[in-house]
Amino acid sequence: MTEEIQKKLQKEFELFNNLKKEYLKAVSQRQQLDSQMNENKAVKEELSLLKKDAEVYKLIGPVLVKQDLEEARQNVAKRLEYINKEMKRSDGHISALENKQEAVHENLNKLKSNLDNLKITA
């Protein structure tokens, strides 16, 4: 009986650790999106401040390629939209992982107390 619970405990523990790793990864991804969004927002603002005839270039590899200002604005807006969507997805993913983690944590505690009870009665 004890052995069985111990095995279960180990399994749950592994699950917990994996979830934790996944969670940390998701959080750092979310942070990256956040900083990307801030950078894009700053660029959007800057582009909106430019005069109509201002020249805009995009760095592609080692060269600067001239871009149409309107096109650049649209591109940044599109990218912001995409990042926003990704952020929502990421938020959902994170909260799902949080819930899962909590459930596994509860399971772990239950198993632990089971084990303790067995030890006391043994």
Partner 1 sequence: MEKDYFSEMSTISSAPAPGMHQIDLSKLNLQQLSKLKQQLDQELNVFQDSLQTLKIAQGKFVESGESVEKITPETKGKTILVPLTGSMYVPGTIIDTDNVIIDVGTGYYAQKDIEGAKDYFKRKVQFVTEQMEKIQMMGIEKSKVREAIMMMMEMKVQAQAQAQKATAS
Residue count, binding to partner 1 (CB under 8 A): 23
Verify binding: residue 76, partner 1, rule CB under 8 A: yes
Kind and range of the H or E run holding 81: helix 69-121
Q: What are the DSSP calls for 3-65, one per residue? A: HHHHHHHHHHHHHHHHHHHHHHHHHHHHHHHHHHHHHHHHHHHHHHHS-TT--EEEEETTEEE
Member of 7, 18, 21, 50 binding partner 1 (CB under 8 A)? 50
Question: Among 79, 93, 110, 112, which residue sits at the site for partner 1 (rule: CB under 8 A)?
Answer: 79
Binding of partner 1 by 34 (CB under 8 A): yes
Select from 9, 15, 27, 72 the one that contacts partner 1 (CB under 8 A). Answer: 72
Q: Which residues bind partner 1 (CB under 8 A)?
A: 34-36, 38-40, 42-43, 46-47, 50, 54-60, 64, 67, 72, 76, 79
